Amino acid sequence: MENTEELKKQLEYIDKLTDVVTGLKDRLGRTPKCAVVTFGCQMNARDSEKLCGILIKTGFDTDADETDADLVIYNTCTVRDNANQKVYGHLGTLKARKKRQPGLKIALCGCMMQEHSVIDNISKNYRFVDLVFGTHNIFRFAELLYNMYTSEDQIIDIWDSTDDYVEDLPVKRKYSYKSGVNIMYGCNNYCTYCIVPYVRGRERSRDAKDIIREVEKLADDGVIEVMLLGQNVNSYGNGLTDGISFPALLLEVEKVEGIRRIRFMTSHPKDLSDELIDVMAASKKICRHIHLPLQSGSDRILKAMNRCYTKESYLALCDRIRNAIPDVAITTDIIVGFPGETAQDVDDTIDVIKQVQYDNAFTFIYSKRTGTPAADRVDQVSEEFAKEQFNRVLDAVRISAGTRNGILTGKVVEALVEDISDNDPSMVSGRLDNNSMVHFTGGSDLIGKIVPVKLINAKGFYYIGEMTDSI
């Protein structure tokens, strides 16, 4: 539920924090600098935009580099252990800097902070960290930061769950023309390898009218592309009294004037309905891209993962999608090295890759997450075996993506210009409807515009193109 009382309270804390930051500015003789470092997924990226909104509103410069900021905030991820290790690595470096610069403040938030073992470790071994909060109380950021600046002690505030949302606080979008929109929080699927349901809580859908109001506001503010975000968008609406489904929500978002592109992330194959495929096929605004995590192609492993679909039903779903939307790009996530996985299981995964012909796939080596059912299994596979199998999968992904990349060569398509190209300042980078990138000659005046581009040739995952007058 949206909590208006809490909103009022947090707006008061924004005022109080502004006074603190003004005092800090007087002492430093310059604007205090903050770096928000984001790990992990789109949800975290969106959360960081919320943190930056409050930081800017209260007087911080949020463009600072981590190495010279007065306040460093790590918005952490814990899906795989290497994400946790990265944070500890960064903290080691900051500890040395804090000795030289005692005024430096350090805050930690995000999924990793929802793990009890992490909090134990930080409260015992990382006393130099000033503030720790979690995913459920991020809307209290202004209050927490105010408390941090007015106290000498380490502040740790972690909630196990919440039913409240406070959505109308300031947000600083990274891009002026596109934005993520949370449509739901948490996850109920309990895939046996995954820590997300434990750190993000049970699934809660936002009311459709609140979502539409947010999209309308974004459109008024110049946003032309929205990405609807949830761990499993296809189960949107479960538990809501008005019972609206995800396809019905998409139709409502589509009506918002000014919004020209709609994306969504992530789809669970077990919940992707034919209704959704029909809505996508008929839509002029919903982008031709579905991210459809496979995880494994082996029925045995899928069952052990609690994914609730089979190789056959997954392939049939992809067929239905491709038949209804021929130009759709399908991408996926794959885990290699799940406990008990054999080379034959991986053969099945490779078979699916060959049959579906993914446009791209993110492949991960299984990471044991304490507290998940898979972590207790005695048949964990060796690192060496997992790496070998991982390389086999990677080769298959490269071949499949290789045949898909370039299929649009010669066509004129619309691209939303996102940025100046990283490699060549005389070029810009644009995103196609199917999520591929194209680089072409152009200037910063094009950023945020949708323009027609002729795709001249394909280079790996991207195209080189040329702007034209019309489609």
**Residues that bind ligand SF4 in the complex, under the rule CB under 6 A:** 187, 189-191, 194, 196-197, 231-232, 268
For ligand SF4, the closer CB: 77 or 280: 77
Q: Give least dist CB 173 to ligand 5AD, A.
A: 23
Q: Which stretch in 122-130, 246-254, 364-372, 433-441 sits in contact with ligand 5AD by CB under 6 A?
A: 364-372
232 binds, among ligand 5AD, ligand SF4, none (CB under 5 to 8 A by kind): ligand SF4
189 binds, among ligand 5AD, ligand SF4, none (CB under 5 to 8 A by kind): ligand SF4
Q: Decide if residue 80 touches ligand 5AD (CB under 6 A).
A: yes
Q: How many Å apart are CA 41 and CA 444, to the nearest integer?
A: 27
For ligand SF4, the closer CB: 197 or 340: 197
Q: Decide if residue 293 touches ligand 5AD (CB under 6 A).
A: yes
Yes or no: say if 303 and 270 are a contact pair by the CB < 8 Å rule: no
Q: Decide if residue 440 touches ligand 5AD (CB under 6 A).
A: no
Which listed residue (74, 133, 141, 193) binds ligand 5AD by CB under 6 A?
A: 193
Q: How many Å apart are CA 293 and CA 335, to the nearest integer?
A: 10
For ligand 5AD, the closer CB: 373 or 452: 373
Q: How many Å apart are CA 345 and CA 304, to the nearest integer?
A: 12
Which listed residue (114, 162, 349, 367) binds ligand 5AD by CB under 6 A?
A: 367
Look at the chain and count its residues. 471
Q: How many Å apart are CA 444 and CA 423, to the nearest integer?
A: 15
Which listed residue (98, 369, 404, 439) binds ligand 5AD by CB under 6 A?
A: 369
Which listed residue (79, 106, 361, 427) binds ligand 5AD by CB under 6 A?
A: 79
Strand partners, 228: 181, 264
Q: Decide if residue 189 touches ligand 5AD (CB under 6 A).
A: no
Q: Give least dist CB 352 to ligand SF4, A.
A: 17
Which listed residue (194, 224, 415, 416) binds ligand 5AD by CB under 6 A?
A: 194
Rg (CA), the chain: 23
335 binds, among ligand SF4, ligand 5AD, none (CB under 5 to 8 A by kind): ligand 5AD
367 binds, among ligand SF4, ligand 5AD, none (CB under 5 to 8 A by kind): ligand 5AD
Q: What type of residue sits at position 57?
A: K
For ligand 5AD, the closer CB: 267 or 436: 267
Start-end of H helices in 37-168: 42-57, 81-100, 116-125, 141-149
Work out the burial of residue 333: count CB atoms within 10 Å of its CB; fewer than 13 is exposed, 13-18 middle, 19 or more buried: middle
Task: Lay out the site mask for ligand 5AD across 322-361 (x = CB under 6 A, - = otherwise).
Answer: -----------x-x--------------------------
For ligand 5AD, the closer CB: 273 or 362: 362
Q: Decide if residue 200 touches ligand 5AD (CB under 6 A).
A: no
Q: Decide if residue 264 touches ligand 5AD (CB under 6 A).
A: no
Q: 156-188 burial by CB neighbour count: b if 16+ within 10 A, else e? A: ebbeeebebbbbbbbbbbeeebbbbbbbbbbbe
Per CB under 6 A, residues contacting ligand 5AD are 79-80, 193-194, 293, 295, 333, 335, 364, 366-367, 369
